[in-house]
Structure 1
Amino acid sequence: MVARIVDLRSDTVTKPTETMRTAMAFAEVDDDVLGFDPTAFRLEAEMAKKFGKEAALFVPSGTMSNLICVLAHCDVRGSEVILGDNCHIYIYENGGIATIGGVHPRVVKNNNDGTMDIDLIEAAIRDPKGELFYPSTKLICLENTHANSGGRCLSAEYTDRVGEVAKKHGLKLHIDGARIFNASVALGVPVDRLVQAADSVSVCLSKGIGAPVGSVIIGSENFIAKARVLRKALGGGMRQIGILCAAALVGLHENVGKLESDHKNARTLADGLSEIRGLKVDASSVETNMIFIGIEGSWTTAEKIRKYLEERNILLMKDSSSRLRVVLHHQISASDVQYALSCFQQALQCENGN
């Protein structure tokens, strides 16, 4: 009998469903670098239509998708991108925009809800007359949902306002939409409306919709043509990618509808955790599938609790010495949530000596 494992490390840990495996096994494929993979065509066309843009491109990873988008918009070395000080591109993507692309990051403070103040964004835009001294601002980046803010959602109205600032100053707007489907479901707003103001969007296929590999870049036909060249240069040109795209199509059709259940399970878990002595959880801020759990007091640490839970097959990530992160996904059931809650309760009682 296989031991029960409740994997809350990330929504990237999902395993391909039987439907995905069947679709992968029988996918119609050809050489995508040569431009002939029919299943890749299907996925890219469907994503472009769903997001209200002209074209799309499959890439191996979310980090590569964001890097390509930044480089395509900031096509002169020494250009500058404005982005949040707590966003994924700035914190977790190996500084690729600077080290590989020669693009300078100009950071603006992220608020607790993942937004940046509009006036601070506008103030960060360089004066073109100062080009002798300053980088040239080319791009603004947003992240929706905003992971380090706990999966908070950016509204269409907020994104529109940022888009207006970008257009006013002749800039482009990119959205790191790794979990944009979560935002769409949580807000009750179609994804095309959430990215209406954006010139490009990157969407992760291996997070909320549960595909095993890949991301998609979405934008205008001209932009995607530039992105395709950059994908090849960065080593992301692959051959029979229809095998991967077939799984993504299944996830797109079958798993987006499950995100509301993920969000419900996250709220149930957050409500339960907030009642456990020694844990600090702001349940009211849990909008999608992510929860950050603060550890109160000096009598235990996040690592001790993580190890205790791991021994009971509850897997999660330590965010710092005093904070844990859990992420729900479609392979976590309501029963798993209750089991996790009971293990958290036992862990805190054990550490507290009760």
Structure 2
Amino acid sequence: MTTVRAIDLRSDTVTQPDEMMRVAMSAAEVGDDVLDHDPTMRRLEDEVAALVGMEAALWVPSGTMGNLIALMLHLNRGDRFLAARGSHVLEAELGSAAWLAGGMPHPLEWTAGPGRFAAEDVRAMATPSAPYYALRTRLLCLENTHNFAGGAVTPPDEHARLVSAAKEAGLRVHLDGARLWNAAVALGVPPAALAVGVDTVQVCLSKGLGAPVGSVLAGPSALVREGRRVRKMLGGGVRQGGVLAAAGILALERMADLEVDHANARSLADGLTELGWAVVRPETNIVLAEVPDTRVALAMLDQVGVLAAAVPGGVRFVTHRDVPTSDIGEALRRISGQVSGRSAAEHPVRA
């Protein structure tokens, strides 16, 4: 029996390091990062800090750890933090914000568009003059792009209004920029333009940029020094980390390639729409499709070797550097053949 080659659109985390990246990793200058600060790791951290407009940066194994370290630095036990409904820190980090950082999460509704809220929403939840026994709101968490809103982008002017509202209310601001590179490319602005005014920002190297592992937390030098201590507490200190940092340095050089992923996502969305799927027009590399039965839709896709992920109410496709443009057309051809062969009662995308 012939096995159909899988087209993996579950996430942009499934990319494989190419030969050039593997060579860079094998040739990396390394040291003990816990004892002496690995030289290649230091170079990566300096490059990321400059890209996002911060004084210093800290490599971490994952974006989840980067976000957690930031929350542990910003919150005291019982402090409330605000984040958009469906944010990664609320929905996809196993409650570590409450369990380990001691924070009380409060979701803000999407009043300004998918994945976005307004400055007025921040002001309404701030508690600068509340009595001692009331919840203290101490932190605003932003996410750009917003994963579960379909890679939705927050532009610089809107970002500035949110940060200004937070600062006026005495809140610190953390930016989960796991896909900040995508937002910057989509908007045609430097990444630093989307991190203005925040206290900390986490960016990921192992998603669209294609490194095998790693994120970076950036902020003021004093805060990053304390973050290095917290990283060690969480077991995130590495020894010869330059092997991994070398992949991250090369990944940063490939930021402009993300526009190909964005174009592929638009092509996929257009094709699915033509096939009768209810699709949200993507701003970056994430395509959300509403389906009446997620399980049935995923099973149909799996039968034709197109891999996607479940999200509430639908299916998520994520384009990335390991899926060339030709594979988008192939995926649509496979889906078209499967859908056209089903009766209306069996149709996975129509109620």
TM range (shorter): over 0.9
The 5 A counterparts of 1:1-354 are 4-74=5-75, 76-111=76-111, 112-132=113-133, 134-253=134-253, 255-277=254-276, 279-283=277-281, 286-295=282-291, 301-320=293-312, 322-352=313-343
Give yes or no for contact 1:139–1:171 (8 Å, CA) kept in 2: yes
The 1-side partners of 2:116 and 2:228 are apart by 30
Q: CA deviation at 1:161?
A: 0.7
Give yes or no for contact 1:274–1:282 (8 Å, CA) kept in 2: no
Which residue type is aligned with residue 280 of structure 2? D
The 2-side partners of 1:168 and 1:305 are apart by 46
TM-score (norm 1): 0.93
**SS of match in other structure, 2:209:** coil
**SS of match in other structure, 2:275:** coil
Number of aligned residue pairs: 343
The 1-side partners of 2:66 and 2:3 are apart by 37
Q: CA deviation at 1:269?
A: 0.7
The 1-side partners of 2:11 and 2:99 are apart by 27
Q: Structure 2: any 5+ residue segments left out of the alignment? A: none
Flag the 1:222–1:2 CA change in 2: closer, same or farther, 3 A: farther
What is the CA deviation profile of residues 150-171 of structure 1, one whole-angstrom value per residue up to 9, with x for unaligned ones?
Answer: 0010011111111111221222
Q: Structure 1: any 5+ residue segments left out of the alignment? A: none
Give yes or no for contact 2:144–2:178 (8 Å, CA) kept in 1: yes
Give yes or no for contact 2:141–2:176 (8 Å, CA) kept in 1: yes
The 2-side partners of 1:259 and 1:352 are apart by 38
Which residue type is aligned with residue 185 of structure 1? V
Which residue type is aligned with residue 6 of structure 1? I
The 1-side partners of 2:274 and 2:29 are apart by 51
Q: CA deviation at 1:5?
A: 2.4
**SS of match in other structure, 1:128:** coil
Flag the 1:236–1:94 CA change in 2: closer, same or farther, 3 A: same
Give yes or no for contact 2:150–2:280 (8 Å, CA) kept in 1: no
Flag the 1:305–1:137 CA change in 2: closer, same or farther, 3 A: closer
Give yes or no for contact 2:122–2:166 (8 Å, CA) kept in 1: no
Q: CA deviation at 1:110?
A: 2.5
What is the CA deviation profile of residues 209-261 of structure 1, one whole-angstrom value per residue up to 9, with x for unaligned ones?
Answer: 111001000111011011111101111111111111111111111x2111001
Give the root-mean-square deviation of aligned CA atoms: 1.6
Flag the 1:96–1:240 CA change in 2: closer, same or farther, 3 A: same
Identity %: 41
Q: CA deviation at 1:3?
A: 5.6
Which residue type is aligned with residue 307 of structure 1? A
> Which deviates the most, 107-116 or 337-346?
107-116
Give yes or no for contact 2:209–2:251 (8 Å, CA) kept in 1: yes
Give yes or no for contact 2:128–2:169 (8 Å, CA) kept in 1: no
Q: CA deviation at 1:2?
A: 9.0
**SS of match in other structure, 2:341:** helix
Give yes or no for contact 1:199–1:220 (8 Å, CA) kept in 2: yes
Flag the 1:3–1:30 CA change in 2: closer, same or farther, 3 A: farther
The 2-side partners of 1:264 and 1:245 are apart by 29
Which residue type is aligned with residue 304 of structure 1? V
**SS of match in other structure, 1:30:** coil
The 2-side partners of 1:141 and 1:314 are apart by 34
Flag the 1:2–1:228 CA change in 2: closer, same or farther, 3 A: farther
Flag the 1:210–1:2 CA change in 2: closer, same or farther, 3 A: farther
